[in-house]
Amino acid sequence: MKIKRHAAFVSLLAAGTLALSACGTDQNAPQDTGQAAAPTGSADVECGGKENLVAEGSSAQKGAMDVFSQAYNQRCEGQRLAYTASGSGNGVKQFIGGQVDIGGSDSPLSEEKGEVAKAAERCQGNPAWNLPMVFGPVAVAYHLEGVDSLVLTPELVAKIFNGGITNWNDPAIAAVNPGTTLPDKKITVFYRGDESGTTDNFQKYLSAAAGDVWTQGDGKTFHGGVGEGKDKSAGVADAVGGVDGGITYVEWSFAQDKGLSIARLDSGAGPVELTAETASNALKHPTIEGEGNDLRLDLDALYASKEPNSYPLLLATYEIVCSAGYDPETAKAVKAFLTVAATDAQANLEPAGYIPVPQEFQDRLLTAIKAIS
């Protein structure tokens, strides 16, 4: 399916949409995707309550929150949500401090850091819930003259990014690419030189899917020990595009926009191309660590998944909300906004570089949203 670029989204994204500025990423809209199965388009929404909701946090979801806010204003005339992309840490801090109605974070509340207890205190003694509402795929993008199709396993990706494999015609790469002539060319690794949520998720993926090979751990700083660092997603994408033999990890849209080739990942059930459909398939049966309506995901299980036709390398961003404890006007508006975000707004996520939630997961989200009091 060809996705048409909308001018409104382009201007948003050019200004930093889907940028993990606190996490060090930025984003543009993808050009060409496979079509994901669309979730239910709408649901009953009880508009009203607080007219101007306030939210803050992860820059990764800025573009999606713009989409959500527009759909909310259209569905509930006169009601708005203002979102400040100040980074996940600030989103959690401002939510705990009662300064915002919704916190945005690319990590759930941490019990070890005391965030779970502090958030419950803010919510008048009620638990806060982590609701994953925004998902975006990460591409293993490369530029290799004469090689437009390439298969990599998680182990091979790990070895490339930790220096275990340094040449494109390495026998291990050739073994999973029969019939492909690989050049005798040095692999040039580019990584995010700034702190990046994309780096964190990429390294978590390698730890989960290729833990025997990737022992460097995770975090927002790249630990592979090889390659050249570049600032932001545009930096690594531009660098790969200018070097024959280059490779990086980058948000899907940047690989599309720069005309980079994207490796198919074989996690054990055959090579999987990155499309909206295969990324959405990874979310159909998520493992949830949280209890009840706290939908905290087990990303290790997602990243280590070997499901066929499923692309597991995704970013997930949470909306942090009170399960109860809002004043009635705020609770009503929060529920209306989240319901619209999970339904009406889903149709406009793909042009902005995100993956609509599949029906199966949407049902879980709507159940949790309805339970907010």
Would you tell me how many other CB atoms lie within 10 Å of the CB of residue 177? Answer: 19
- The identity of residue 13, as a single letter, is L
Query: Are residues 63 and 17 in contact, defined by beta-carbon separation less than 8 angstroms?
Result: yes
Strand duo 261-262 + 188-192: pairing:
unpaired
**E strand intervals along the chain:** 52-57, 80-85, 102-105, 128-143, 151-152, 188-192, 228-230, 246-251, 261-262, 264-266, 271-272, 314-322
Tell me whether residue 233 is annotated as binding. no
- DSSP β-bridge partners for residue 83: 55
Tell me whether residue 198 is annotated as binding. yes
The pair of three-digit structure tokens given for residue 118, joined into one six-digit string: 């502090």
**Residue 368 burial (10 A CB sphere; 0-12, 13-18, 19+):** buried
- CA–CA separation, 116 vs 121, rounded Å? 9
Tell me whether residue 197 is annotated as binding. yes
Would you tell me how many other CB atoms lie within 10 Å of the CB of residue 93? Answer: 18
DSSP assignment of 293-318 equals: T---B-HHHHHT---TT----EEEEE
Query: Are residues 307 and 326 in contact, defined by beta-carbon separation less than 8 angstroms?
Result: no
**Residue 100 burial (10 A CB sphere; 0-12, 13-18, 19+):** buried
Tell me whether residue 105 is annotated as binding. no
Query: Are residues 264 and 271 in contact, defined by beta-carbon separation less than 8 angstroms?
Result: yes
**Residue 62 burial (10 A CB sphere; 0-12, 13-18, 19+):** buried
DSSP 350: G
Tell me whether residue 59 is annotated as binding. yes
Tell me whether residue 88 is annotated as binding. yes
Tell me whether residue 60 is annotated as binding. yes
Would you tell me how many other CB atoms lie within 10 Å of the CB of residue 259? Answer: 11
Tell me whether residue 275 is annotated as binding. no
Query: Are residues 88 and 320 in contact, defined by beta-carbon separation less than 8 angstroms?
Result: no
Angle at 346 between CA 280 and CA 281, to 5 degrees: 10
The pair of three-digit structure tokens given for residue 115, joined into one six-digit string: 């965030």
153 half-sphere exposure, CB direction, 13 A CA radius: 19
Q: Which residues are annotated as a binding site for phosphate?
A: 58-60, 88, 106, 196-198
Summarize the annotated binding site as residue ranges.
58-60, 88, 106, 196-198
